[in-house]
A = this chain, B = another copy of it.
Amino acid sequence: VSDQIRERVLLAISLLNYKPNGIARSLKNAKTNIIGLILPDMEEIYSMQVMKSIERMTSLKGYKIIFCSNHHDPKREVTALQWLIEKRVDGIIMFPTGRNLEDVEIPSSIPVVLLERKVKGPNFDLVRHEHKNTAIQLVQNIYKKKGQCHLLFIHGSSANQIEEERLEGALQAIDLYDQVNNKQYFLELNSRSEIDQITEMIYQSILKNNPDVIFATNPNFLAGAIRAALKLGLRISEDIEITGFGEIDPFDIFRPLITVAKEQPDEIGQIAVNVLFKKINKQFQATPQEYIIKPKIIVGNSNGKLVL
C-alpha cells in the first residue's frame, strides 16, 4: 500500500468520522469473536476462577466472552443457550445444571464444550475433575494418619453427579481401609443452604456423634465444618480432623490446618478453551473426548498450628 493512498484513506476516515461496525462485519463474516459462557452462578469461588481462566485464555486470542448465569435452573440454562445460539457466538463453554439438552437444537456450526457434567442428548467434549479416585485418596490419607477412627461424612444430594461420585469413592475407600467396622455417620445437606444453617447442622451432628474426622464433599460443607468445630472450641487437626474437597478461603487462612483436594479451575479453563478453539478452527478430533483433571491434594500440617 503506497503512502499516498494510506494518507487519503486516513483522511477520509477522519473526515467522514468513520467508525467500523462490528455487527455488520459479524453478519458478513459469520464470525462474532465472542464465546458464550454459561455457569451455574457466581457465588462460588470455583466458578469465578474457571471464568477468570477462560477470560484470560480467550482474550489472548482476541475473543470476548458473553457471560450467562443459569442460577442452577435448567430452564434458564436452556434460554441462555438459545440466546447465545441466536446471537451466533463462535463457541460455547457450559457447566450444565440440567441433565438433558435433547430439546435444544444446537447447530453443528457452534462447538460446545461441557464442564464437569455430562448431559443427555448431543455428544460434546467434556472437561472435568477426577472425583472418585480423589475421594478414595483422601479417605486413605485419613486412615493412614489416624488409624482406625469414626468418620462423619457430610455430602450433598446424589442427584448431583459430582456429589455422587465423591460419595461413591469415599464409601469404596471405607470398605477398603476400615478394618474393624468402625461406625461412620452420614449427614446429607443441601450445599446451597446458607452457611449459618450448614454450620448449625454440622454442629449438632458433631455434638451427637462425636466423630474424630469430618469429611466434606465440597467447600461449603468444609467451611461449615470449620465453623462448627470452632464454635465447639475444638482445635482443628488436634481435636478433630477436617478434610474434603475444595478451596475454602481465598486468603488461605485456615487451609494449612486441613488436608484438601484442591480443584484446578485454571487447568479446566485452559483445556476447555483449547479444545473449543480447535473445534472453531476445524482442527477436529472427530469424536468428542473426555478430559479428566486430577485435583491437587494438599496435606495440612499435623501439629494443629497455623504456619503461614
* Residues in chain A within 8 A of chain B (CB atoms): 19-24, 26-27, 32, 34, 41-43, 45, 48-49, 51-52, 55-56, 59, 64-69, 80, 83, 85-88, 105, 107, 195-196, 199, 220, 223-224, 226-228, 230-231, 248-254, 306-308
Set of chain B residues within 8 Å of A22, measured between Cβ atoms: 83, 86-88
Contacts known (A251-B249, A253-B223); A87 close to B23, Cβ less than 8 A: yes
Set of chain B residues within 8 Å of A230, measured between Cβ atoms: 253, 306, 308
Q: Please give the count of copies of this chain that the complex contains.
A: 2
Set of chain B residues within 8 Å of A308, measured between Cβ atoms: 196, 199, 227-228, 230-231
Bound Cα distance A230, B248 (Å): 18
Set of chain B residues within 8 Å of A227, measured between Cβ atoms: 251-253, 306, 308
Bound Cα distance A88, B59 (Å): 18
Task: Name the contact of A59 in the complex, choosing from B45, B52, B69 (C-beta under 8 A).
Answer: B69
Q: Which 4 A-B pairs have the closest CB atoms?
A: A223-B251, A42-B52, A22-B87, A22-B86
Bound Cα distance A250, B306 (Å): 20
Interface pair A64/B66, CB less than 8 Å apart: yes
Determine the residue in chain B with the shortest Cβ distance to A27. B23
Cβ distance A198 to chain B, nearest Cβ, rounded Å: 9
Set of chain B residues within 8 Å of A66, measured between Cβ atoms: 34, 64-67
Interface pair B64/A306, CB less than 8 Å apart: no
Determine the residue in chain B with the shortest Cβ distance to A25. B86
Bound Cα distance A60, B262 (Å): 34
Q: What are 16 of the A-B contact pairs (CB < 8 Å)?
A: A19-B85, A19-B86, A21-B27, A21-B88, A42-B52, A45-B250, A55-B67, A59-B68, A64-B66, A64-B68, A64-B80, A65-B66, A66-B66, A227-B308, A249-B251, A253-B253
